[in-house]
Structure formats: C-alpha cells, structure tokens
Amino acid sequence: MREIQEGRWAEGARFPSDQELTSRLGVSRMTVRQAVSELVNDGFLRRDHGKGTFVTRPRALRRFWTVISFTEEMRSRGLEVQNKLLGVRRVIPPGPIRKALRLGPGERVLQIRRIRAVHGQPIAYNVSNIPLSRCPDLDRCDLEEDSLYLIIQNRYGYRITRGDRAYRAAKPSRAEAALLGVAPGDSVLVVEGATFVDREVPIDYCYEVYRE
C-alpha cells in the first residue's frame, strides 16, 4: 500500500486527512499513517496536531547555518546535542592561527575545548579560538549550554557571514582517539578554518575532529 505519491500538490495545500484516505483507499488507518509517515520523513508533508497534514516544499539540503554550526546541523536532523566543556583558557595563539585571525603579536584568544555528543555518544572534538579583543569577557558566558555562534551574534551583536573550512581524512592523535572513543588507527574527519563576521572580520578559528 504505497501508492500515495507526490502528485504536484501546491505548496501549503491541505493533504487529505487520515480518515479521508482510510475510506477513500479502503485501507486501515495504521496503513495510511505509515505511508504518510514516509512522505513526512522525506520532507514532502508536514503534520500539525489538531490542524491537519500539509504539503511542504522538500526541506533545503544545505543551509548556511547547518554547514557552519555543528549544533544547528544536528538540530536540523532532529538530534539533540550535548556540549561537554573540557577547558577554557586565555592563550596567545600559535602563528598560523594568529595569522588567520589577523591578530597582533601579543593579542590573546579564548581557547574553548569541547566534546560534542549526540544521544550520549561522543561525535566530535572541537577547539575554538576567539579573539578576546572582539568578544571581551566571553568566558563569563554559559558556554556549555548553547551554541557558541548564537552567543557571538546575540551578546556581541555580530552577524556571521562566512565560514572557511578545510576538510581532510586523517588519523587521530592518541588524545583525540581517547576522547572520541575510537581506535588510534581509525580514520577521522578533521575540519579546520575561520569564521567571519560583518566586513570579513575573523571571529573564530576552529579545529574539529569527527568520528568517522
């Protein structure tokens, strides 16, 4: 009973209710719901409790926020994210990071090390480096609770406009393997790069290791 397909419905149009499909197709309601659920999962329909079922444009497959922010990417997939703070320090960054952030020789950054977990399983190890001159007293915020980029935008009034990322497959260091719960020989995905606000001002240089 899978003959319900997308027949060029207009976006936002009302889709037949469970009851209507049940009687029209002569199948039981559980069967209807299962078929409709597939279309909902594929992003063609949206159910509103008490209101009805509606045709929706298939959700965008990539959006600026979902590629730039780990938290947003996971949420867009309907997964809950836990951030575990490993450490927060004010440090003078190494040369390449200083360069990428366009900082003067003595300027310090806030180095934030975190483990991102989904369903309690560690997924990624993340190090962010944020210039203190651009986000003063960032270490007074609740960095464990919510999206770092949300804080940067809401508390400091920046607008994040661009993200540069380099992707490569690699072997984790011993410490990274231990943090992610993988074998040292396993392959991991390393993502690295700067995030920019407003007029091309770098606000973060992040280094991430994803379990693969």
Partner DNA sequence: TAGTGGTCTAGACCACAAG
Partner DNA sequence: TTGTGGTCTAGACCACTAA
Interaction between residue 1 and DNA (CB under 7 A): yes
Task: Tell me if 14 contacts a second copy by CB under 8 A.
Answer: no
CB 91 within 8 Å of CB 109: yes
Nearest to 134 by CA among 37, 68, 200: 200
12 binds DNA (CB under 7 A): no
Cα–chain-centroid distance for residue 172?
22
Are 187 and 118 a contacting pair, CB within 8 Å? no
Instruction: Candidates 145, 165, 184, 201: give the one binding a second copy (CB under 8 A).
Output: 165
- In angstroms, what is the minimal distance from the CB of 164 to DNA? 40
Residue 205 burial (CB < 10 Å; 0-12/13-18/19+)?
buried
- Residue 183 binds what, of DNA, a second copy, none (CB under 5 to 8 Å, by partner type)? none
Single out the residue of 72, 99, 86, 178 nearest to residue 126, CA to CA. Answer: 86
**Radius of gyration in angstroms for the set of CA atoms belonging to the chain, rounded to a whole number:** 22
Residue 19's binding partner, choosing from DNA, a second copy, none, with beta-carbon cut-off 5 to 8 A by kind? Answer: DNA
Compute the distance between CA of residue 97 and CA of residue 179 in angstroms, rounded to an integer.
Answer: 23
In the list a second copy, DNA, none, the entry touching 64 (Cβ below 5 to 8 angstroms by class) is a second copy
Cα-Cα-Cα-Cα torsion 2, 4, 5, 7, nearest 10 degrees, comes to: 160
**Binding-site member from 51, 159, 174, 199 for DNA (CB under 7 A):** 51
Residue 211's binding partner among DNA, a second copy, none (Cβ under 5 to 8 angstroms by kind) is: a second copy
Using CB under 7 A, pick the residue from 8, 10, 49, 87 that binds DNA: 49
Residues of this chain that interact with a second copy (CB under 8 A) are: 6, 30, 41-42, 44, 58, 60-64, 67-68, 73-74, 77, 79, 118-121, 123-124, 161-169, 187, 189, 191, 210-212
Residues of this chain that interact with DNA (CB under 7 A) are: 1-2, 15, 17-20, 26-31, 33-35, 47-53
